[in-house]
Structures are given as C-alpha cells and as structure tokens.
Chains A and B, each alone.
Chain A
Amino acid sequence: MARKLNLRIWRGDSTNGALQDVVVDANEGEVVLDVIHRVQATQMGDLAVRWNCKAGKCGSCSMEINGKPRLACMTQVSAYGDDETITVTPLRAFPVIKDLVTDVSFNYKKAMEIPAYSHPANLKPGEARMEQVDVERSQEFRKCIECFLCQNTCHVIRDHEENKKSFAGPRFFIRIAELDMHPLDTLKNRKKTAQEEHGLGMCNITKCCTEVCPEHIRITDNAIIPMKERVVDEKYDPLRWLGSKIRKREGIV
C-alpha cells in the first residue's frame, strides 16, 4: 500500500543550499533510495544522487539520513514512523558538489599514499599456499565496499578540515591492517608508517566508524586497536608495561 511520505531533501551546491520539503508516495518494502528516485522521476528531474547496485554492495549511495551516515539503498522507509519526516543530506565531511553528491576525492588521494601489496619475489603465480584461517583476518577488511561512511563519521576529520592532511581515516587503517595481516605481503613497517605517516595515533577509538559500517567490519577492534597495540609494543610505553605486569600477575599470558 502506498502512503504519503514527507521527505526533506538538501538541495544546493558548494555556494549555497537549503532543505526542501516534498511529499512523495512510498510503497511497502521500499528503501530511502527508492523514494529519492521517485522524486527525481516525477518532481525534480535534476536532483543529484549517486547510486549503483541498489543492493548494498557498491557503496555509492552514502548520505546522511536523519543525521546518521547510511546507505540509502539499505535503509527501509518503514524504519521510520508513519508521521515522521525523513531528512536526507549529503555527507558532511566532504565538500558538496550538488544536492546529495559530495566530492570524495580525499579518499582516493589517501588510497594513493598507501604502498601497494608486495608479493614475495621467489613465489611464482600459482605457488602461493595459505591457510583459510590466516586469510580470513585480511578478508574481513577486504569486505569494505568503500562507501566512506566511516570516513564521514570520524570526528577527527568530520569537523576538522585541518586534520585531513595528516589523517588517512578508518577506511585506510583497515587497508593498512589488511596488508599488514596478509600472509604473504613482504613490505615491512606497515604499522609504523600507519602511526607516523597516516595518523593512526590521532584515533582515540570511539568506535564511531565501526558503528556505521554497513559491512559490519570491526574496524576499531580488529584493525585499529591491534595495530595501535603493536606499534606501542615496538616503542616504550609505561601503560603497556604496567598492563603486561598485571596480566602476568593474574596468570594470563
């Protein structure tokens, strides 16, 4: 059954913009992207929105829905109350291009700064042998669909443009972790460069990134914290030292 939905859409560009109210039909089972498309086809032919797969696999339709970073294709209209207005706005951490579309080139620049995978020189194609359990750690991070919701929500850059230069962001911490945990990667010091060049130290593990990840990647627990711990391991750290003493006392190794 179709119902009338109050949708509030941010429209504008880098110079100015405002929220606009529209009333649009919403059918059973529809997601927010469906109603945005209906607005586009019937009321605002030039409404800009990115999308591709509409199945939560490509990470294109990232936006903020009632202030929360989400994929519009995976957000059911029925998750909101019948009388509730749904407000859709562009990602806040990135410059607006038009309407719901932002300039996410920051992320591609950061991707360029992380050294590529380095295969062992003596291992020919087809000779690699790896245990399933060993590839699974990196596979978790390779599930990333690059929706950049984690980047958008991370408070280190969300409201601090000045930090962008020295901070790669959660998406690229899991990229580094993935390579660091890759059973065959030969490049050394990935953790160290994460700390020294990509701003790992600026993260204070509030786990906002993990909360918004549509792939449910445990960004903080499985990538960031283990890397932080081991970086610290390699330096001298009194807390770490104390921690190890306490654990030893309790008989836990």
Chain B
Amino acid sequence: MTNLEKYNYDVVIIGAGGAGLRAAVEARESGLSVAIICKSLFGKAHTVMAEGGAAASMGNVNSGDNWMVHFRDTMRGGKFLNHYRMAELHAKESPDRIWELEVWGALFDRTKEGKISQRNFGGHEYPRLAHVGDRTGLELIRTMQQRIVGLQQQDARDYGDAESHMKVFAELTVTEIIKENGKVAGVYGYWRESGSEVLFEAKSVIIATGGVGKTFKITSNSWEGTGDGHALALKAGANLVDMEFLQFHPTGMVWPPSVRGILVTESVRGEGGILTNNVGERFMFKYIPEVFKNIYADNEAEADRWYLDQDNNRRPPELLPRDEVARAINSEVKAGRGTEHGGVFLDVSKRLSAEVIKKRLPSMWHQFYELAGVDITKEPMEVGPTCHYVMGGVEVEPDTAAAVGVPGLFAAGEVAGGMHGSNRLGGNSLSDLLVFGRRAGMGASEYTKKNSDNPVSDASVSAAAARIQAPFSRTGGENAYSLHAELQEVTHNLVGIIRTGVELQEAIEKIAAIRARSGNISVSGDRKFNPGFHLAFDLDNMLLVAESTAKSAILREESRGGHTRDDFPGMNNKWRQVNHISSFDGNKVNVKAQALPSIPKELFDLFDVHELEKYMTPEEITKGGSN
C-alpha cells in the first residue's frame, strides 16, 4: 500500500452534524489533533433541518422550570425506557450548552428582557425550546462550523497553518472502523469525488453519523441518513440498544408526492396549530392516553384557553408526545377520515395573523408555498406521519459516550442509544447532540491521552481496500438503486408505524434475501463521484440497521413509544425493564434482552409515586430506586 493516502490524528470524528462538530470543538480545545469526516460538504448535515428548537430548562419564560422538570418530561416522553443517567446529564447540562453557543456568536430569538426566548413543544411542561424562528438547527450548525473556523484561525496564528491541528475531510465516506489488538486503531474510507482510498490512524474514533431514515420509504431524513454509524459500530463489535424504537414524526408533508415525508415542524402546533380530520373534527381529544389525562385538556375551550393562561389550564392534546399524535393521525386516516391525499389537516391560519405566521414559521410558509402551492396563512396544511428519528443506537457509557465493548470507540447524537427511551421529545435532539457531543469529545480525548499508539496493520488495510473494489469487479449484478427501493418497500409495509409478529417475521426473511442479493451488486461507470457506487455502501449499512430493527421489534411484545404492535396493544410494565441489545456475528444480527439500568433513589424520588405506578411493577415501586 505504498501509494495510499494516509493521515494520523489523535481523534477522528465521523459525521459533521451537531454532535460531531461539538465533539470536535471539545477535542481540539483539550489540545488534541482532530479529523472531521463527513459525507457531504461542511455545514450541510441533517442538523440544518431541525426546526423547532433546543430544549434547555433555562427558565427564561417560566421561572418554574429547572433540570428536574426537564428530566421528568424526558422520562415520561420515553415511557421510562430511557437510560436514567443520560436523561439526567442531558437535563442538567443543556442550559450551559445553549449559553455557550452565544459565546460563539449564536443569535437566538429574545424575550422582552433580552434573554433567550423559549417556546412550547410537545411533552415539555414549560416553554423550554431556545429557537431562531423555525431554523434553529441551521443556527446550531453554523455557529459550531464558525467556531471550528475560529479555532483553525487560532491554529493559523499559533502554528502557521489553519489545518495543522484540525481538518475537515468533506465528501469522504468511511467504510470501516479498524481495530488492532482489540482496540480502535483508525478508519478507512474513500473520497467521494475521486473514489480514491484513505486511511486515518487514530487511537479514538467518535461516531456522530445521525440517523437511519433512508431505510424507510417516507422519511424526513436526507440521503445521508443511512445508518452508517450504526452499522460501522456493529461491525466493530459494539452493541446497538433498542433499535425497535423509531420515531414517526406526526407531521410530514403528504402532497405533492415528491415532497412526501418532508418535515412540518412541531412548532406549528406549539404556536397554536390544530389538527382536524375530513369532517372538521378536532380529533386529538379522542386520543389522550390514561397516563396523560391530568395534563392534557379534554375539551376545546380549555385547550384554547391554555395559549393565554398556561398555569390554570391543561395543554391542548395536539401537544402530546409525538408517538401519540402519529398513531392518532394514522388511526384517523385508516378509519377513512383522512384527506384526499391520505393525511389530516393542520391549520394555523385561524389562530395567528398572516404576519405572525410569516415571522414565527418563515421556512414553513416558504416550504408550503414553493413546494405545494399552499399558503399556510390562509389554508390548512395536509400532513401525515414520516420516519424522522431513531431512538435506538450505539450502547454507550453515559458519562463518557464510550461505546460499550470497544475501547477507543465513542458515539454521540442520534446514532447513540438510550437517551430518549422509547420516544424522543421534540427539542431534545438538539440539546442531546450538544451535551453528548461535548462528552464524547471529552471521553475520546481522555482515552487518547491515556493510551499508547496502536498502528493499523497492512492486513487490515488490504481487507478494507478489497471490500471497496468488490462492486467494480462484478458485471451484470444487482442494481443498488432497485435493491434500496425494495428494502424501503419492506420496511414501510412491514416494520412501519404499526407492526405485527407475522409481518415482522416476513420482513426479517425479506431483508435477509435482499442482503444476500446485495452481495452481488455491480456498479456502472468508474470511481469518480459515482452515486451508484456510493449507494452500494450506504445500502449495506441500511440492511444491517433494518435487520436489527426488525429483529428487535419482533421480540418486544408490547406497544410503547415508537414501537406499536397491533397484536400486543398497550404497554406492559414487565417490558419496561428490558433493553434489546443487537450485536453482529459477522454474518447476521443477533438480538438479546438485557436488564434496563435501574433508576437510583434520588431520581426515583423526583416523581409522584402514583405516576410511577403506571410504568413500574409493584416490586419496583416497593424497592423505590436502586440505592
């Protein structure tokens, strides 16, 4: 491998979304050299799509808010399947992470007192989301992108070269995490532009690759959401936890077909948007689950009053956690009360003036006007569920973001599991990626400083290179685009928002069959910026993710959060004690049950015991926490 392009860094970060960039800042500030690798151009990551805001209990709008309230909301939203420690760290640290962005130049919307404004969102008891209109994700990405440029400018002053200690490798795909002697040694990949191969040697690798939405037919995710990090981690010997839990965002666009799945921010409901069916019924009142009856209004008058007086009224049911709203919409459409295009109506035009809508929801107005020819200041939107977020992900140590079982591997952001339990609250992902991006940067830095060099062997390089060459060596094989479409059809029909054991079994078999055929993909053209070649590798990742999801889903015989079983409706408190752990044996994904870490007494005591009785078994209640 004499001509191989080779680099050596202290920390390699795969992914340049919010989590990856935050990790990069942390690792560089701790004095280490950092490579940031991303599949797209710098600053294009899916984080830019996050609209509503970042949840942090700063208490700027309602001083009653604090980390304990946020922690409770997060656990409730996740139906208590969250890793308690991640939810705790997240709730405690997110205000600092938001304020820190201001120090780097972020400009959030303000309150009258000049503080950072906070808006209401589903599942959050108080107005909690720091926001910039409906383009909060863009603000986060840009702020951190510019922070990284700032650090590079400092390096230019100190070392004469802006890229001496931190470099962005844009449009580069990682195909392998290389281990030597049981520990991480580096990553291997190819430049998308030229197809030529690259080796990065590094003692620690942070996976921050985001989600898996492209496994599904209707998704809010961009092409990058192909579960790369999930699959890379599995293949490197890490575990995935609870991959059955996928969030179907209740409101994606449904018309025209080309935009089907594109996100309609929850802020539309946060700002007063109501959901109605084709007979004009505001149907969400029918879908308030028992566990939420004390905090959600069961009549229109009270729901409407809440927008003016939140202390003395219960919240409108449009603001229930996302899993509840998505299932409700699904039921309405199934019952024949949907719109012409298979969605329901979401209307904000009757509550807010045109001017206010354009001010608070500018990109929604723009999106509907330009793509659907709908003026949301005058007409309702048509919306329906879209695959938005994967709660499952790499099993990590909460404090360091270290992947369980693989020394030197770390994961943060959407690709990490545990934080959100069975369902994520809106606004908790932007704060998640800041909190755990930073922790992954710290964890990786500490690990790197403590461990000695671990060079990559020639044998590992040869194996990785052979894999990249393989699809070019075949002719007349399978077409990656067609296989991808087949996979999406299977996941959409059989592993989607409502599942059954029979269908999941069928899915497992079909996914295995597609995976077998994918071994025979051939690619037309050469290596130069060749999307067919790129998709062949993305598809391999999606197939592993889909297998993990289907195999986890068939085991969980209950309905909870982002996993709904038609044959097992309702939550079962016994299942709350179980995480599903996926591992890869080189041939297939195996899923086993593992006991959920039990919540310590001081966190247990933050809840009203009667609320916990809805989620926990009598034995757990009697025990009252783990210490």
Residues in A lying within 8 Å of B, measured CB to CB: 13, 27-31, 34, 40-42, 45-60, 74, 76, 97-99, 101, 104, 108, 111-112, 115-117, 119, 123, 125-126, 128-132, 135, 138-139, 142-146, 179, 182, 185
Contact = CB atoms under 8 A, between A and B. Distances in A.
Interface of B: 40-44, 46, 48-49, 58, 95-96, 99-100, 102-105, 107-110, 113-115, 117, 132-133, 135, 138-139, 142, 146-147, 149-150, 152-153, 156, 162, 193, 222-224, 255-259, 262-263, 363, 366-367, 370-372, 479-482, 485, 523-526, 528-533
Given A45-B479, A45-B524, A56 B162 contact: no
22 contacts: A27-B258, A30-B256, A45-B524, A46-B525, A50-B40, A52-B40, A52-B46, A53-B44, A55-B49, A56-B371, A58-B40, A59-B44, A60-B41, A98-B193, A125-B99, A126-B58, A128-B102, A130-B107, A143-B135, A143-B138, A146-B44, A179-B105
B263 A55 contact: yes
A98 B58 CA distance: 48
B188 to A, nearest CB: 22
A157 B147 CA distance: 28
B146 A116 contact: yes
B367 A56 contact: yes
Nearest to A148: B41
A112 B533 contact: no
A117 B105 CA distance: 6
A186 to B, nearest CB: 11
6 closest A-B pairs by beta carbon, nearest first, are: A29-B256, A46-B525, A117-B105, A116-B150, A129-B114, A125-B99
Nearest to B100: A125
Given A34-B258, A97-B529, A41 B153 contact: no
Nearest to A131: B114
B108 to A, nearest CB: 8
Contacts of B222: 51-54, 58
Given A55-B262, A126-B95, A104 B105 contact: no
A52 B44 contact: yes
A53 B224 CA distance: 9
B532 A45 contact: yes
Contacts of A97: 193, 529
A101 B40 CA distance: 12
B315 to A, nearest CB: 26
A50 B41 contact: yes
Most buried by A among B49, B114, B258: B258
A45 B523 contact: yes
Contacts of B363: 56-57
A130 B110 contact: yes
A101 B41 contact: no
A99 B528 CA distance: 10
A182 B529 contact: no
A2 to B, nearest CB: 11
A13 B194 CA distance: 11
B529 A146 contact: no
B291 to A, nearest CB: 34
